């Protein structure tokens, strides 16, 4: 299959290794990966902070960038969620019905990585080897906007050598929420503290999740605590082989 990678702005600028792992994983599974160069960002930060008007040209750019793609895969539940649940609405509110329809069409072709692997490719064992103690945080938008359910866990359970441990209160938000972490930093920090304690209680070597944004937040907290627990994106765990 020819897969268009929607790499997301955060991965492009700050976490390129997540993008590289996604590419290598998909290629290892025998698919051709293309990266449309016109892509930038899904505009979620603008939309969720209350700048729908400013998000409109970003949405337009995104829709145009992926117009030719058969299937679009993002290593992010949050960005896939924005494409699927917000883009058409932003276009409609901006008075562009044609763009709204095109956005609806893009949404249908867009998948978060674990959804793509399990639902589209029908694969749970991707041939990965990762001999470490790992815990998994189901990020809010993957969990509730996309309803990925236990697909990431199905993938992780099939990894050879992994010691997968349950994260207490896993479904509670880490407190990132985009600009929420800045606008309500004290509340966000309180939520982060509970999340990092839960992670540390598992004694995992690695915390993994399907969103680099949440991992940036939790990882930033773990790093400040000088804890030994690393954060790795799901794609990075799955890309690893013997």
Partner 1 sequence: MTFLGMPAGGGNLTGTPFPKAARGALGDDQLRRNLAKATSTIRTKRASVVGELPDWAELRLAGAAIKDEVLANLDEYLVRFEEALTSRGTHVHWARDAEEANRIITDLVKATGTREVIKVKSMATVEIGLNEALADAGVHAVETDLAELIVQLGNDKSSHILVPAIHRNRTEIRDVFRREMAGVDPDLTDDPRALAEAARKHLRQKFMTVDVAISGANFGVAETGALVVVESEGNGRMCLTLPRTLISVVGIEKLVPSWRDLEVFMQLLPRSSTGERMNPYTSVWTGPTEGQTSHVVLVDNGRTATLADPDGRAALRCIRCSACLNSCPVYERTGGHAYGSTYPGPIGAVLSPQLTGVDKNPTLPFASSLCGVCYDVCPVAIDIPSMLVHLRSRVTESKRATPESTAMRAVGWVMSDSRRWSRLIRLGKFGRLASRHVPLPGWSSARDLPLPPKQTFRDWWESR
Of 162 and 213, the one with the shorter C-beta distance to partner 1 is 213
With contact defined as beta carbons under 8 Å apart, do 170 and 144 qualify?
no
Residue 163 CB, shortest distance to partner 1, in Å, is 26
Enumerate residues 17-56 that contact partner 1 by CB under 8 A: 17, 19-20, 23, 35, 37-41, 43, 45-55
Angle at the Cα of 55 (from 50 to 61), degrees rounded to 5?
165
How far is the C-alpha of 122 from the C-alpha of 103, rounded, in Å? 26
Which region, judged by CB under 8 A, interacts with partner 1, from 118-126, 128-136, 142-150, 234-242?
A: 142-150
- Contact between 97 and partner 1 by CB under 8 A: the answer reads no
Determine if residue 222 is left, alpha or beta; phi over 0 gives left, psi from -120 to 50 gives alpha, anything else beta.
Answer: alpha
86 binds partner 1 (CB under 8 A): yes
228 lies in the binding site for partner 1 (CB under 8 A) = no
Select the residue interacting with partner 1 from 183, 203, 227, 241 (CB under 8 A): 183
Per CB under 8 A, 175 contacts partner 1: yes
Of the candidates 68, 189, 227, 241, which one interacts with partner 1 according to CB under 8 A?
189
Angle at 104 between CA 102 and CA 110, to 5 degrees: 105
Choice between 64 and 158, CB closer to partner 1: 64
120 near partner 1, rule: CB under 8 A = no
State the nearest-atom distance from the C-beta of 159 to partner 1, in Å. 24
Contact 230, 206 (CB under 8 A): yes
Please report how close the Cβ of residue 47 comes to partner 1 at its closest, in angstroms.
6
230-233 β-sheet, strand order: 163-165, 133-136, 206-209, 230-233
Spatial distance between the Cα atoms of 71 and 77, rounded to a whole number of angstroms? 16
Please report whether residue 187 would count as binding partner 1 according to CB under 8 A: yes
Shortest gap between Cβ of 221 and partner 1 (angstroms)?
5
Select the span of 3-11, 104-112, 155-163, 234-242 touching partner 1 (CB under 8 A).
3-11
Contact 221, 195 (CB under 8 A): yes
Number of residues that bind partner 1 (CB under 8 A): 73
With contacts defined by CB under 8 A, name the span among 66-74, 108-116, 198-206, 215-223 that binds partner 1.
Answer: 215-223
Q: List alpha helices for the chain, DSSP H.
A: 9-13, 16-28, 44-49, 52-65, 77-85, 87-93, 97-109, 113-115, 140, 151-157, 180-183, 185-201, 212-224, 234-239
């Amino acid at each position: 299959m020819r897969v268009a990678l929607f790499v997301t702005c955060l991965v492009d600028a700050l976490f390129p290794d997540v993008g590289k792992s996604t590419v290598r994983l998909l290629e290892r599974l025998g698919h051709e990966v293309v990266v449309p160069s016109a892509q930038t960002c899904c505009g979620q930060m603008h939309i969720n902070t209350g700048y729908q008007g400013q998000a409109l040209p970003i949405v337009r750019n995104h829709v145009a960038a992926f117009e030719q793609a058969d299937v679009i895969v993002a290593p992010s539940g949050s960005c896939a969620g924005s494409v699927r649940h917000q883009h058409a609405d932003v276009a409609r509110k901006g008075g562009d019905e044609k763009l709204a329809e095109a956005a609806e069409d893009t949404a249908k072709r867009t998948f978060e990585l674990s959804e793509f692997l399990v639902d589209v490719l029908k694969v749970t064992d991707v041939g990965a080897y990762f001999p470490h103690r790992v815990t998994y945080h189901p990020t809010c938008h993957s969990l509730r906007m996309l309803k990925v359910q236990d697909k990431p866990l199905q993938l992780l359970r099939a990894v050879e050598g992994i010691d997968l441990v349950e994260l207490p209160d896993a479904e509670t938000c880490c407190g990132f929420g985009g600009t929420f972490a800045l606008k309500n930093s004290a509340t966000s920090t309180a939520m982060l503290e509970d999340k990092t304690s839960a992670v540390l209680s598992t004694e995992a070597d690695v915390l993994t999740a399907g969103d680099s944004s949440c991992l940036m937040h939790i990882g930033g907290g773990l790093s400040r605590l000088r804890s030994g627990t690393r954060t790795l994106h799901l794609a990075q765990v799955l890309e690893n082989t013997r």
